[in-house]
Structure 1
């Protein structure tokens, strides 16, 4: 028997919004100098007759979600726009009354067919990656969860108990989760504040000598300026994974600048995360890297909080063991994490943590967050250079999962124009002074913003 809080979907509207960049971002050998958001509005009605419209927004992210050697970026972007529209149509056709989690799972079942149909219609010979479909659909999934909360006049994270859900977690994951619900793995109120992970991209200037063309827009341009202006305590460092001397030198240089700047600020503790963007040949590269960092910057090694996705995203074709590296630092999957099956495979080959991303879908993120906590894995939440509403959504996810210690957010660095309107409504999330964001502001109805 269904719940009075269950929703039926009445209408779906999907649109796009260009987001200009102030500076290019380089990761995994690829450079991004502009973006666009996929925005979605979903109108729902509860079983008791209450209606509401939810909103979701997420960067298209095709360069990250669909890095192809045979399909040009403009074509992958066009395909992902088409996928978003098709997923919107599928969502619009959902006739049953259900919890948003069940709507999300039902819609996901159509993803393989949608990918094949869009690929064939566009004459794309390679298979459309599931990651690209998840990203294209994520704003719609978010809007459904947002609308559910608004229609029931609750924060959506407080609609995850047996009072609202029609199935326990064994229905979505495995029998290990029998009798458990998502409220056991989420918080009823967002954390008051969270440290912000600032991105140091491969092209980002560390010192004034590195600046080839000053932007002169009043924002910091060097790493030291960013640390001082925003009081940063967490730095995410993009590395090559293919050039060991460069990677080592980069981290040593960043650690030296951080030492100097943090020393002036009177700080003793700060942290790094390292992202190889799946470019390492194997675990030996990571081990050699860590060994050299220990020799050249031993305190820098201590500051490393975790290592992200060192090797190929396809774990089935490239099951490269990570056990030895994970003994030194948590090693998390990012691009590889698509579903519960991929999480289990990652654990089997030695990964000790997972990176959640709202761009893979709110439904999937909630389920994987529960599984990761159940298995005692390290958890972090990252964004996709998310501006505005997409960053707030990502931050709310991080603020509601107990074991997540920090939130990544680099939209303010690369595309601050996308924060217009949202910055004024949520100043604590966009005006950074002490290295933290005020996630206390994200406790409203729906997804909190």
Structure 2
């Protein structure tokens, strides 16, 4: 981190130090006061015993030998307790408010502690070798497979994926979605000339014989229409006949025309090589060629394209597509019996069972997971640990010292207790050895 950035972080408004609930914090304060009182009480007891022994020693008359032993033990215990009181107190504040160097360490060295803590975490917890070993030892593929293979868990995955998808869809701005649809779909359709690609597609279909079913359907459709066209033909002739022509003549001609038309369309439908079929095939081939090579035909198709793409339905197609798609997707994500949710459940179950049954799949997933963990550790450990140092730097020094003392102060009071007890034992031992060697 640069000097400017570090200064900016230090000058930023102090952050409140995170901590437990007020109830838990109050209980910790009570415990800390209790342990402090006990440690201080033991120190006071040692001081009282020392003073009592000194009183006995300075009183007229002969002093019993045991007084020297007790005095030495209490004196050393008092000294040890005072020394450890000073050491523990100096961590968080100035003992008795005196400006003694190297005291109030947590308050004065807060930033350095944060940097050291960040470095310690980075070196000992966020190194690639340690993380990959821990990830590999966790057996994530086996655990994941066992969890996903349970139907209830698979349904949970489906439900959560549905919720996430619904939130994403709901958060999207319709205007942005419509812009994406326009740029990726509508505009892409309108970009190229329609004629040549259509002609090439038709040529490929002709070469593969895919247009013949179209010809069959066309001639059979014409035959069906011809069979039903009798009344229409008679009506058309009746509308155009001269007024002097008898009605019966019109009916005879109409029936004759209808019969000939039906016979002709039947012949076309029954004969695969009928000249009418050949004419249709020729027309399709010619149309395919014109669409690719005839500038006039290409321009005609382009005019049709411009008319179609400029029409109101097409201009509003993006909004219509998004409304329909988003509504359908939201309905599918919220319905546990929808095809989407069902497929997600099936996919989760299948994947879980495959992980349990396929060792290669487990190994592949394990390599991917450990590789991702190593990549994050190698490339982002510094950024992660910098959060620790930057956060500690922005803590209020007094509040940080108080919070840390609440966390560890109870255990530190044992240092004072041990100092008093061990000091007393050490003093007693030293006095005893001295007494044995040199006498009273």
Q: TM-score range by the shorter chain?
A: under 0.3
TM-score normalized by the length of structure 2: 0.15
* TM-score of the superposed pair, with normalisation by structure 1: 0.15
Q: Flag the structure with higher strand content.
A: 1
